[in-house]
Amino acid sequence: MIQTIPSLQYLERYRNEGTRTYSSHAAYTEAGDRYRPDGDQERFLLEAFKLPREQMLVYTADPPAALAAEYLTPSEAWFLVHPQLLESDRQDIYLKRTLALSSERRLIHVSPSSSTRTLFVEELGPPQAVKVHFPFKVSRYTRKMRDEVIEQALNVSRELQAGIGRMDCRFAFMREVIGVAHQDLQPDSARGENWGYLVRDITPFPDSGVRRPLIPGFALYGQDYFDPAAPLLLYDLIGDRDPLAYVLEQIMLPIVRHWTTAFRHFGYILEPHGQNVLLELNDEGTIGRIVHRDLSVGIHMGRRRDIGLPDGDLNNYNRTEHNAFCSITYDRFIGGHFFDRLVEACQARYLGLAREDFTRPCREEFARCLPDYAAYFPLTVWYFNEERDQFNKPLHMDTGATPEWRP
């Protein structure tokens, strides 16, 4: 068993080598060198502007009081701007408005996570991260933080927190607790482009009261940036245990249960791929809980209607009636981008393991947990193609492939 687990910040930034292979776009970034997760700067300064709260859109979802106090007062809100935007586009209308409204400024030390625009805050009270507007392309997309995206993430966080009793004891998540955005200055545009940021409470919820090591999913099979010959963390965790049983029981099957349970009870299409999953270790070195993060999830409105859930607390972002996104998320994000990498790592070290040893139990568990899956999943695997919609988001297509990780 591994004796010392590197910090979450280290794993986020430097145990990600060789993991960005899931598409031809995966390794692409327009982030400046000093703002990249694998850059050589440990931290950089994020600029915050104090703005009149009445001029902003402010959302909260049960933030810890000490955390809320760092960003909000009854009359004002701090507004965070990524330095690359300040350096590159002073003509952005919302940046110009930020500068015009600001009554005070301060600088906050942050370090990038694996997702580039999500930043660990180093000095402001409780453990936290901020997800900021970054209108530059990373992988397939520019990483904007539009108002409706921020509001919806808090809507999901609030609803999931209230319904946490429906999830099993091995499920935890990082809550999105504060969002601040500009009001829309272009109401006649095709969609609101007014942007802002959100604050993430990175203490896993429900709070166990004990701070335990967290390992991002990709760090299980990613190489170390500074020591490429270091053994994979997955091997260290398995130790002398049975590799098939460990990977199935500690990682894959809990994720299958969490995905299907969140879909059954909320209509959420979670995206627990290698970046969005954190493994919380217990004192024995086994995985106590799976911690999920990034609540900008798809929401299957057909499923919500079928279970009688109202939609009044949701806005229009990421709502879908199409079953394709269930396949894209489960078959490709989870199965293809995450589970496949775990299988490859196991087969490279442990002789005699077949792919079917992993896929069959997952298919069986999926069918047990979501017996009416056929109503929400296509018969074949769907994925993105290279065509784009009017907002430059990729369209999807039927690949014709037979699912391996579900029936």
58 CB-near residues (< 8 Å, 6+ apart): 72, 77, 178, 179, 180
Q: What is residue 25's predicted lDDT score, i.e. its pLDDT? A: 64
205, 236, 269 - which closes a domain:
205
Q: Quick one: 195 and 307 in the same domain?
A: no
Summary mean pLDDT of the chain:
93
Q: Is residue 95 part of a domain?
A: yes
193 CB-near residues (< 8 Å, 6+ apart): 94, 144, 146, 184, 186
Q: What is residue 23's predicted lDDT score, i.e. its pLDDT? A: 63
Q: Is residue 403 part of a domain?
A: no
Q: Is residue 6 part of a domain?
A: no
Q: What is residue 15's predicted lDDT score, i.e. its pLDDT? A: 93
Task: Decide if 221 contacts 344 (C-beta within 8 A).
Answer: yes
Q: Quick one: 186 and 288 in the same domain?
A: no
Question: Residue 291: which CATH number?
Answer: 1.10.510.40
Token pair, residue 123, equals: 């000095």
Q: In which residue ranges of the chain is pLDDT below 70?
A: 1-3, 22-26, 392
Spatial CA neighbour of 150 closest among 36, 59, 211, 248: 59
Per the DSSP assignment, residues forming a β-bridge with 21 are: none
Q: Quick one: 388 and 284 in the same domain?
A: yes
205, 238, 256 - which closes a domain:
205
Q: Is residue 11 part of a domain?
A: no
User: What's the rounded Cα separation, in Å, for the pair 159 and 162?
Assistant: 5
Q: Quick one: 300 and 344 in the same domain?
A: yes
Q: What is residue 26's predicted lDDT score, i.e. its pLDDT? A: 64
Q: Is residue 78 part of a domain?
A: yes
User: What's the rounded Cα separation, in Å, for the pair 270 and 178?
Assistant: 20
Q: Quick one: 224 and 307 in the same domain?
A: yes
Q: Quick one: 37 and 126 in the same domain?
A: yes
Q: Is residue 407 part of a domain?
A: no
Task: Decide if 207 contacts 173 (C-beta within 8 A).
Answer: no
Spatial CA neighbour of 255 closest among 342, 381, 323, 153: 342
pLDDT of 6-15, one tens digit each?
Answer: 999 999 999 9
DSSP strand pairing (171-182 vs 287-292): parallel
- Write the burial class of residue 117 (CB in 10 Å: 0-12 exposed, 13-18 middle, 19+ buried): buried
SS3 191: coil
User: What's the rounded Cα separation, in Å, for the pair 358 and 66?
Assistant: 44
Task: Decide if 103 contacts 96 (C-beta within 8 A).
Answer: no
pLDDT of 221-265, one tens digit each?
Answer: 999 999 999 999 999 999 999 999 999 999 999 999 999 999 999
- Classify each residue of 393-405 as buried b or exposed e, where b means 16 or more C-beta atoms within 10 Å of its C-beta: ebebeeeeeebbb
Q: Quick one: 152 and 116 in the same domain?
A: yes
SS3 147: helix
Q: Quick one: 44 and 185 in the same domain?
A: yes
Q: Quick one: 220 and 326 in the same domain?
A: yes
Number of domains in the chain: 2
Which residue range is the domain that position 176 belongs to?
Answer: 19-205
Q: Quick one: 242 and 154 in the same domain?
A: no
Residue 294 neighbours by CB distance under 10 Å: 20
pLDDT of 105-146, one tens digit each?
Answer: 999 999 999 989 999 999 878 999 999 999 998 887 789 999
Q: Is residue 301 part of a domain?
A: yes
pTM of the model: 0.94
Q: What is residue 38's predicted lDDT score, i.e. its pLDDT? A: 85
Q: Quick one: 279 and 326 in the same domain?
A: yes
Q: Quick one: 60 and 118 in the same domain?
A: yes
205, 226, 259 - which closes a domain:
205
Q: Is residue 149 part of a domain?
A: yes
DSSP strand pairing (319-320 vs 298-300): parallel
